[in-house]
Structure 1
Amino acid sequence: MSYEERGNLVYLVVSALTYLGYVAVVLGRAGGGPVADVAYVAPMLWSIGLSVGLAIVGRVAVEIAKPGGSFKVDARDRDIKRFGEHVAGGVLGVGMVLPLVLALVEAPHFWIANAIYAVFSAWAVFGAAVRSVAYRRGF
């Protein structure tokens, strides 16, 4: 498994888990009440910050636990990254219609912010998943 492939797997796991953790915190704070009334800004910012930090720490930890060969990015890595970004870009483009519509109908900020975060998380997870499949099966 190449350095880039291992980094991609770390990114996939961290992106998915931090978003799911954010959703769990927000739903837990709702306590059966209206979800839109939950204080969501701090948990969202913590989730984004943790995602970045854990991705960095995770990648370093994976390299310490099982050092790879070369850190050089080759043509295959570049092509897979380009392919993953191309495919995931469709998810991002289509997904951003939802926050746009919410903004146009003047929905509460809670729903707009969470729609944006959900779409970016879906983009990150989907792109990493596509790249993982491409590393294993080709594209």
Structure 2
Amino acid sequence: MTHQEKRAWIMLVVAVIAYAAYTIIVLGRAAGRPLTDVPYAATMLWSIGAAILANIVLDMVTAGPRRARVTDVRDRQIGRLGEHIGQSFVVIGATAAMFMALAGWHRFWIANVIYLCFVLSAVLGSIAKIGMYHGRLPQW
């Protein structure tokens, strides 16, 4: 397994765990009241920060010797294509948030749709990269 594939697995697992923890905490705080009344901002920021830190630490732990981290043309192609696939959700999230803001939705929903789309971007991009490592690169 290349270092780039390990990074994709780390990103996938960390993104899912961080978002699941955030969701469980926010839903647990709701306790029958509307979600828009639940304090979510600090939890969201801590969740994002913890995910970034976990990705950095796990990447350093799994890095191995410098020669094991060398990337070749295939790794770069997979990385680039995976990022393009994942970024589609960033665009979807930004567009959705823009329309939600124009429609006057509560900022809770706007922030959460952006966060969800960032997570889906990481998940989809990682799944695409892992799939390409175990399958074939598309030939255009």
* 1:33 and 2:11 are equivalent in the alignment: no
**Deviation of the 1:70 alpha carbon:** 1.6
Question: Is the Cα contact below 8 Å between 1:2 and 1:69 reproduced in 2?
Answer: no
Give 1:93's aligned amino acid: V
Q: Could you say which residue in structure 2 is the equivalent of 1:14? A: 14
Give 1:58's aligned amino acid: L
C-alpha distance in structure 2 between counterparts of 1:114 and 1:94, whole Å: 13
**Deviation of the 1:52 alpha carbon:** 0.5
Q: Could you say which residue in structure 2 is the equivalent of 1:90? A: 88
**Deviation of the 1:86 alpha carbon:** 1.6
Q: Could you say which residue in structure 1 is the equivalent of 2:97? A: 99
Give 2:12's aligned amino acid: L
Could you tell me the TM-score, scaled by structure 1's length?
0.90
Q: Unaligned stretches of 5+ in structure 1?
A: none
Could you tell me the TM-score, scaled by structure 2's length?
0.90
RMSD of equivalent CA atoms: 1.7
Q: What secondary structure sits across from 1:70 in the alignment?
A: helix
Give 1:5's aligned amino acid: E
C-alpha distance in structure 1 between counterparts of 2:84 and 2:105, whole Å: 30
Q: Could you say which residue in structure 2 is the equivalent of 1:4? A: 4
The count of corresponding residues between Structure 1 and Structure 2 is 137
Q: Unaligned stretches of 5+ in structure 2?
A: none
Percentage identity across paired residues of the two chains: 37
* 1:52 and 2:52 are equivalent in the alignment: yes
**Deviation of the 1:76 alpha carbon:** 0.8
Give 2:112's aligned amino acid: N
C-alpha distance in structure 2 between counterparts of 1:70 and 1:60, whole Å: 12
